Amino acid sequence: MSWLLPDAVLTATGLQAGLAVELDGDLVGRVCPCPPGVEPERLRGKVLLPGFVNAHSHAFQRALRGVVQHAALGSDGGQGPKDSFWTWREAMYALAETLDPDAMERIATLAFREMVSAGFTTVGEFHYLHHQPDGSPYAAADELSLRIASAARTAGIRLVLLYVAYARSGFGVAPNPRQRRFIHRSPDDVLAAIGRLGDVGVKQGFTVGLAAHSVRACPEAWLRELSAFSGVIHAHVDEQPAEVAACLAEHGRRPVQVFADAGMVSERFSAVHLTHPDDAEIDTLSRLGGYVVGCPTTELDLGDGFLPAGRLDGRVGICIGSDSHAAIDPFAELRAVEWHARALAGQRNVLRPVPADDPRDGLALRLLETGSLWGARSLGVNAGRIETGRLADLIAVDVTGLEFAEARLLPTLVFNGGPAAVADVWVGGRRLKSSGRR
Ligand SMILES: [Zn+2]
């Protein structure tokens, strides 16, 4: 048992000074004024926040940073519509073809370490590289998933392995040989792999969810069978207009409705991206209790569009992910959620403050909940708030450089903070990063 005493602790209602936080194994114990006789670790000049939750990651794509942030080869120089999500996808597939298990683990470890350093304490890894480059299984069928788990263990980040089901290249689309590493023969094969990995996860300390890749990759019959899964389910939804058009051509319905009709949308379902929803899709998610994972830095990088956070606000829980890792910066993702909503609405302060009667700090609190509590709910993890009995996934943020006489600390932190301000990180009560200054 040990105690932390920062300058302030972020609670459900805002920053509170004078509170100490007890670390009780991997959980938060008491959150209260420091009891007599206790010698806490003093975190001077720092505030304690729940760790951020990265609800959507493809760790191997970290190797594309700096490689794809220029005109795609074979495009028209980036001047026209040819350079797009779809050309980026070919570059990503080319990388995916080259990765052996060692390279996969190395890159994933790099990505996860960078996440921890930036203040992410949980990652939902949407993992779809399953087989050898020619499509044949590895000797150990779950080799690459286990390498992801090993990378997370090395980095210390909490892992929710979102195991991807991938059936085909698309409706009426010829098979793409570059997708051979992703494809399973049947939904049963996917569910069997998830069962095996779930057993390993119990011993190794990670959990496993299902990722139904997209309506492109999963026909409706697969979605119906996969909806029998009882854990969290994530899917790419409405990322590109062409994906919606293909879905309408195949099903006569838009993607959220296809997932819903297959029985998949519930409070355990998260729609990743949702950059092109219509109002009926938002209604369906709201009615059935799903979440939305926005990945604004990737969505900007890929030209996907903007998360319509203003239309989702108060109806669908929003969380964040760093997806392709064009950037790994929870602060950048959070302020982009609000800034994109402003750009779309033509007004300021679009998202509703939490609590509603706190106009000064409420928006910052709301965004911090988006970055922690809602992501934890989307991934089925008992974290996201500093409360007794929750996992002790915490970050201490150095605010000494952010304090000005009239400025409110929380809005300054959310709208001007960055990974460099994250001084200390704990996952399950274990310290992974230390500023060395206490
Ligand atoms: Zn993705």
Q: What is the pLDDT of residues 98-131, one digit of tens each?
A: 899 999 999 999 999 999 999 999 999 999 999 9
Which residues make up the CATH 3.20.20.140 domain(s) of the chain? 52-351
**Residue 292 in tokens:** 């939305």
Separation of alpha carbons 270 and 46, rounded Å: 33
Q: How confident is the model at residue 400 (pLDDT cuts 50, 70, 90)?
A: confident
Residue 194 to residue 157: CA distance in whole angstroms: 20
Question: What pLDDT, in 10s, does the model give residues 325-361?
Answer: 999 999 999 999 999 999 999 999 999 988 888 888 9
CA of 56 to the centre of ligand 1 (A): 6
Q: Is the pTM of this model over 0.75?
A: yes
How many Å lie between the centroid of ligand 1 and the Cα of residue 57?
7
Q: What pLDDT is stored for residue 241 in this prediction?
A: 93
Q: For 2-50+385-433, which CATH superfamily applies?
A: Urease, subunit C, domain 1 (2.30.40.10)
Nearest in space to 185 (alpha carbons), one of 142, 136, 143: 136
For residue 301, the model assigns a pLDDT of 86
Strand partners, 32: 20
CA 141 to chain centroid: 26
Which comes out higher in pLDDT, residue 5 or 175? 5
Question: Comparing 399 with 385, which gets the higher pLDDT?
Answer: 385
Q: Which regions of the chain carry the CATH code 2.30.40.10?
A: 2-50+385-433
Q: Which of 192, 213, 170 is nearest to 58 (CA)?
A: 213
Superfamily of domain 52-351: Metal-dependent hydrolases (3.20.20.140)
CA–CA distances in Å: residue 381 to residues 148, 205, 430: 18, 12, 17
Ion ligand 1: residues, Cβ under 5 Å: 323
CA 236–ligand 1 middle distance (angstroms): 6
**406 or 56, greater pLDDT:** 56
pLDDT of residue 94: 83
Q: 47 alpha carbon to ligand 1 midpoint, in Å?
A: 32
Contact between residue 298 and residue 272 where contact means Cβ atoms under 8 Å apart: no
Write down the pLDDT at residue 404. 60
Tokens for 216? 């492109």
CA–centroid distance, 323 to ligand 1, in Å, is 5
pLDDT of res. 91? 80
Catalytically active residues are 273, 323
pLDDT tops 60 at residue 436: no
The pLDDT assigned to 279 comes to: 97
pLDDT score at 78? 45
What letter would DSSP give residue 92? H
